[in-house]
């Protein structure tokens, strides 16, 4: 089974300093048919204007991942972390019993483009934690690079859920195959560009929900950046 979620059918909000597209129900956007996939609850495609940002606000009991596509984002939180997240960087907060944080674009003239992703953890009330890692273009070029997992495989970011998150940059000469195991569900999100997956062509913002398929095959005629989530179909 392969289901396409079109990027043009996502929720949309424009706050001036922030323009955001919501793959799943979020804030004022509600669609009972788009409440998430397995433990994946939020993918927001955010464009934050220069000097714009989110003031300090709380979270709890959620794995919150920020994947920067271009520009830079400044972060501060109640755990004492302060950092700049740049293109190629992945940041994760396990909100657990509760954290407060702020995010803003420190640039005077350059917007930041990012994906903010929320994954429901397998248990509530864990101790909050923070991680940030940088992945080079070469790490993702022509392959699915594992960037987060429940075992922190190969020095990846640790997720408190049965989810493995991959990132890839494909160019015209690349073909990527990914075997999907029995009793798993995959969600593939196209961040930039255009990609063909099992003969279905997707553009930026589009996504696939995949279950009961043996193999995913990805190609592109130009360049594309994608994220793939390999998940247990139920919330563990």
Concatenate the DSSP letters of all residues of 6-59 into one string: -GGGSEEEE-SSEEEEESS-BTTB--TT-S-BTTEEEEEEEEE-TT-EEEEEEE
The per-residue pLDDT for 1 is 85
Nearest to 236 by CA among 179, 174, 184: 184
| pLDDT band of 236, cuts 50, 70, 90 | low
pLDDT digits (tens, 9 = 90+) for 64-93: 999 999 999 999 999 999 999 999 999 999
The per-residue pLDDT for 234 is 86
pLDDT digits (tens, 9 = 90+) for 33-45: 999 999 999 999 9
Helix (H, G, I), strand (E, B), or coil: what is residue 138? helix
The per-residue pLDDT for 155 is 79
pLDDT digits (tens, 9 = 90+) for 150-203: 987 667 999 999 999 999 999 998 999 999 998 999 999 999 999 999 999 999
In the chain the domains, ranked by start, together with CATH numbers, are 2-231 (2.60.120.10)
pLDDT digits (tens, 9 = 90+) for 202-231: 999 999 999 999 999 999 999 999 999 999
The per-residue pLDDT for 235 is 76
For residue 6, is pLDDT > 80?
Answer: yes
DSSP state of 141: B
CB atoms within 10 A of CB 175: 11
Is residue 90 a contact partner of residue 148, using CB atoms and an 8 Å limit?
yes
**Chain-centre distance for alpha carbon 197:** 18
The per-residue pLDDT for 154 is 67
- Bridge-based pairing state of the strands 223-231 and 185-197: antiparallel
Rounded-to-integer distance, Cα 118 and Cα 211, Å: 21
């Amino acid at each position: 089974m392969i289901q396409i979620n079109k990027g043009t059918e996502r929720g949309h909000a424009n706050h001036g300093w922030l323009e955001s597209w919501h793959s799943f129900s979020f804030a004022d956007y509600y669609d009972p048919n788009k409440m998430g996939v397995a433990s994946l609850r939020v993918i927001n495609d955010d464009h934050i204007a220069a000097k714009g940002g989110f003031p300090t606000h709380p979270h709890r009991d959620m794995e919150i991942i920020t994947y920067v596509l271009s520009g830079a984002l400044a972060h501060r939180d109640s755990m004492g972390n302060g950092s700049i997240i740049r293109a190629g960087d992945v940041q994760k907060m396990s909100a657990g019993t509760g954290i407060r944080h702020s995010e803003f674009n420190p640039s005077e003239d350059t917007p930041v483009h990012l994906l903010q992703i929320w994954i429901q953890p397998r248990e509530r009330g864990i101790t909050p934690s923070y991680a940030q890692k940088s992945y080079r273009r070469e790490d993702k070029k022509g392959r699915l690079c594992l960037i987060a997992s429940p075992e922190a495989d190969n020095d990846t970011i640790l997720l408190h859920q049965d989810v493995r998150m991959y990132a890839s940059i494909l160019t015209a000469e690349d073909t990527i195959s990914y075997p999907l195991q029995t009793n798993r569900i995959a969600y593939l999100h196209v961040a930039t560009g255009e990609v063909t997956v099992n003969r279905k062509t997707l553009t930026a913002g589009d996504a696939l929900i995949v279950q009961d398929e043996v193999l995913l095959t990805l190609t592109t005629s130009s360049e594309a950046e994608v994220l793939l989530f390999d998940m247990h179909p139920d919330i563990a």
